[in-house]
Structure 1
């Protein structure tokens, strides 16, 4: 047996230890890391490997336990991404619609012009010469006669934002026309539109183009001659025929409207929006891989005709394929569905203005109007409601923010009661006791922990370990997928382990806190992978070199 090995006691009073029967040593490690239990009597009597002879022939109790902590990605994901969500509500109006061009032709005869002409003598001269030859004197005047314009079949009422009006005239009268002023009359509203002056030689044509803005126009239209002048024919007689016509062609082009009742051509509208990842902290995430996630969306249309909607998440891929969806939305209808995003990789750093936490959304809206007229308004459109209520991740990269978690208080019984030491004896100190934690860490972020460990002795005393903050090394993102190793040693130089053991502890109580990124954003990329882990082993060394208090 090893009882011959000496136990050195430092101090003036030496305590003699002769009875090892029934001694129980129960160091309890509070991270929580599990419980170690050593029965010293068995160690000594059965030559258990826990009893070690040091090079100086002193005795030590050494215990090692591997894998006392095995922290997986799933154990930490709630702390990192437990509050992540994303949602957006986006309104997209159809906006102004460009209608197909409209061309209408109308005419007014010389007899119609003269029947309402303001200069009765000129009108009588021309009317009396009908069917014969006569010179035309110079004249100037207007006519009240309205000439109906055929109703356009493509609209009954339009609210014009802008429109180009092209007016062509062909002068079928036997005299030249100058300073011709034509007025277009909306017979529904009574509104008149004055055209710029025109001129045309006898038998010739001319045209003018002008823009109309902010105008309501109905399809019940007519025109009249508001002003007409002619130099006449001098002494030269010309054939007079009251059925000769002034032809007027109205071409409405580039008709941009904000509403009305009209034949709406198919319209394609493209747009984009973003919805931001809500992290509940200062986290700035650049990329995530989603777990079992569903995006919920509702599309509501106020358009009076069906539409086809294609929307996509251009920064999201599943198996390398961009995420997109095509929907058919009925007239003034609503569609609610879900989009499976399981396994999607989201790049959240594509917006230069905010290269984190941002998910772009693009969409294309294609109207499917009926063949006939439809009432519409530029403010009609769709509302897109898109939500990921709980973001479940399998990996992430970026800055996870400063996250602090509390370790709930707990108690662990300690069966080592130091009964081999008489209660009346002075406290005994284990000068060289150490506690070592060996870890292997593949999580890619800074992490530290403060453990408040207090021992409670058999005489009602208590003593704190007062351990330093424990900081774990981690592999940088350039070494993602690897692990780093480290060792944390607690001894009498960085803790009060000697004083804690001197009260002959029978149990421990503990609490504490842990912090991600304790120094804030240091410009280094945080990351986690599906197989990230923290593996920790513990080694306890209690040399049987004791010091009794004087």
Structure 2
């Protein structure tokens, strides 16, 4: 019973008593014979109704709720926890030098003009015999050709290639011999500047009349001068005694050509050149990129041309595309023996792997091209080239799709402080559900390893471990109940603080996903337990209320009350038996434990319960009468008195009961006071 109902009752008692006393004094004929100085009377004071609703308890308690089916429930909604998935999406580009060199390069000098020597020059005795048929005796010769320019060459050191000399014998007699000796033809190519022999080619067979011989020599390691002269030294066996027609103008021709000349160095007219190399830029460590967008990053390329010919250095990233969809490339035009600079900006560009195999590096093709020397002789040496110096920088990705290493992210502990309802004391919960909603905003699958730690008011600790896979770009709902977890034991520890800790993992194992800055995992959790309980002894209380009796009322009780009986009307619509008491005290802090007056207890059986669903169908009525002695009556006149209704729930001996929000207890009735009235009272 609440204090407000008790107040109404006592005030009504006081009012009725005062009215009755006044009537007795003024019109005593209605109560007793006028001649008597005193008389007794009985007052019946209605108590009104005090109702203790489970639904009202919910309104006063943060953690008690009405479930969808109307059942009483215990609910805790945890403080959300969020962990930022700070993936390392940056690649540090180390300073490096990309170099394209001319190791050897092609040289295509024009062949010197063919040279020819007449029979009359070779064998002067043939001149007077011109046109005659006569035997020609053996003879020897030693001839020097005129110096001839090697077009576009001043000098060249040959790394590879050959010289081809063709001897065309138009004479009427053979030349050279297979046998070494004075008649074996030796062809020498000499440097006219100093007379040194550049190439010596022996003709090791006889060349018949009107026939050719083709001689080849390797020029590797030979330095070609800008001019060459041909020297012929050898002879002819003659006609062997056979008459031949002597033609003093018949010629012995010599032609020189070059084949596939590669030179280490040259002072010459240089033709078009092209050199190719490549370099790699590491992507973020252990990442395999199928597609990625750069958020920021650039670097400077300083290029140096060591060659005496103009060059163009072009860097091409075949797997990086600009916002317009073009392949990322940057070019630097370099004059001969000069330097230049270019900025490579990756911001906004996209990396796209050409196949389903992720990229671990970004390859850059370095192409150095030159139009040549433009007809001018220049000095070029192998080992010279173009250097591209890449400055150290940092490339940052916005989003990356591919494989990436495993990252572990620790949750900051979050505490949920719980002011447990007093009504849970003495109850043992039977069912409960923990629902965790884990929102993963990244495009990577992950794993949650969470720990809920519950600490009771007495310091007892219970833990609940939760492990579950996390899908990408979605909310994963994890539901634990009494069938698959220890949630019930966790709650029956009656935690006053629940702490969420743990770790979220993402990446690893070669799985493909998409990650970026701002990705996070947010964890919300909720515990709901229907109050299907085993009661081990519990109490429910109303609120302390003051009867607020005035002085006249208290005087009437103190001086005129002879006796009192409380006739109660109790309706129990709870699924358990109850005991009720009315407690009185001047101290609201100790009224539950040290009341100055206790009316009761009164036992009332449980309501009538449907065996199929455990719900109360109809309430149980009880109409007990409780007598108050003189001392108990006097307590009611105590100044500053408070009253409190107590409903005691005894143990159910292990039996589970189901409490609904529609359950309640009502207490009403009468207080019957025996009052002595005297005509001497004012």
After TM superposition, the score normalised by the length of structure 1 is: 0.69
Shift of 1:98: 1.9
Partner of 1:437: 436
Select which of 216, 220, 229 maps to 1:222.
Answer: 229
Structure 1 393/278 Cα, relative in aligned 2: closer, same or farther at 3 Å? closer
1:95-106 matches, within 5 Å, as: 95-105=103-113
Question: 1-side partners of 2:317 and 2:502: how far apart?
Answer: 42
Select which of 250, 255, 277 maps to 1:249.
Answer: 255
1:84-163 matches, within 5 Å, as: 90-105=98-113, 107=115, 126=124, 137-141=136-140, 143=142, 146-163=144-161
Q: Which runs of 5+ in 1 are unaligned?
A: 7-19, 21-40, 115-122, 475-482
**Is 1:59 matched with 2:72?**
yes
Whether the aligned pair in 2 keeps the contact of 1:101 and 1:251 (CA below 8 Å) is no
Partner of 1:447: 446
- Larger radius of gyration, structure 1 or 2? 2
Structure 1 534/138 Cα, relative in aligned 2: closer, same or farther at 3 Å? same
Select which of 81, 88, 92 maps to 2:89.
Answer: 81
Partner of 1:24: none
Shift of 1:70: 7.2
Question: 2-side partners of 1:286 and 1:405: how far apart?
Answer: 23
**Number of equivalenced pairs:** 473
Partner of 1:397: 401
Question: 2-side partners of 1:95 and 1:200: how far apart?
Answer: 41
1:192-341 matches, within 5 Å, as: 192-195=198-201, 197=203, 206=212, 208=214, 210-219=216-225, 220-232=227-239, 238=246, 248-269=254-275, 271=276, 273=278, 275=280, 277-281=282-286, 283-318=287-322, 319-341=324-346
Shift of 1:339: 1.5
Shift of 1:238: 5.0
Partner of 2:566: none
Shift of 1:272: 5.3
Question: 1-side partners of 2:412 and 2:471: how far apart?
Answer: 26
Shift of 1:434: 3.4
Question: 2-side partners of 1:57 and 1:5: how far apart?
Answer: 11
Q: Secondary structure at the match of 2:464?
A: coil
Shift of 1:182: 1.2
User: Deviation digits for residues 136-180 of structure 1, max 9, x if unmatched?
Assistant: 74224453x544422324223222233343435566878664554
Partner of 1:416: 418
Question: 2-side partners of 1:513 and 1:64: how far apart?
Answer: 20
1:422-501 matches, within 5 Å, as: 429-439=428-438, 441=440, 443-459=442-458, 461-474=459-472, 484-501=474-491
Shift of 1:92: 3.1
Structure 1 517/240 Cα, relative in aligned 2: closer, same or farther at 3 Å? closer
Whether the aligned pair in 1 keeps the contact of 2:119 and 2:171 (CA below 8 Å) is no
Question: 1-side partners of 2:300 and 2:467: how far apart?
Answer: 44
Question: 2-side partners of 1:333 and 1:429: how far apart?
Answer: 88
Shift of 1:256: 2.4
Shift of 1:264: 0.9
Whether the aligned pair in 1 keeps the contact of 2:272 and 2:372 (CA below 8 Å) is yes
Question: 1-side partners of 2:534 and 2:393: how far apart?
Answer: 62
Shift of 1:265: 0.7
Question: 1-side partners of 2:64 and 2:457: how far apart?
Answer: 25
Q: Secondary structure at the match of 1:44?
A: helix
After TM superposition, the score normalised by the length of structure 2 is: 0.57
Question: 1-side partners of 2:411 and 2:437: how far apart?
Answer: 23
Structure 1 285/388 Cα, relative in aligned 2: closer, same or farther at 3 Å? farther
Whether the aligned pair in 2 keeps the contact of 1:84 and 1:280 (CA below 8 Å) is no
Shift of 1:313: 1.6
User: Deviation digits for residues 193-236 of structure 1, max 9, x if unmatched?
Assistant: 2335387788x684625252413223153332232215258667
Partner of 2:59: 44
Shift of 1:431: 4.4
Whether the aligned pair in 1 keeps the contact of 2:159 and 2:221 (CA below 8 Å) is yes
Select which of 528, 538, 560 maps to 1:541.
Answer: 528
Whether the aligned pair in 1 keeps the contact of 2:201 and 2:217 (CA below 8 Å) is no
Report the aligned-residue RMSD.
Answer: 4.5
User: Deviation digits for residues 374-405 of structure 1, max 9, x if unmatched?
Assistant: 2223433334455884443333322223x131
**Is 1:527 matched with 2:576?**
no
Shift of 1:266: 1.6
Q: Secondary structure at the match of 2:59?
A: helix
Q: Secondary structure at the match of 2:502?
A: strand
Q: Secondary structure at the match of 2:220?
A: strand
Whether the aligned pair in 2 keeps the contact of 1:348 and 1:359 (CA below 8 Å) is no
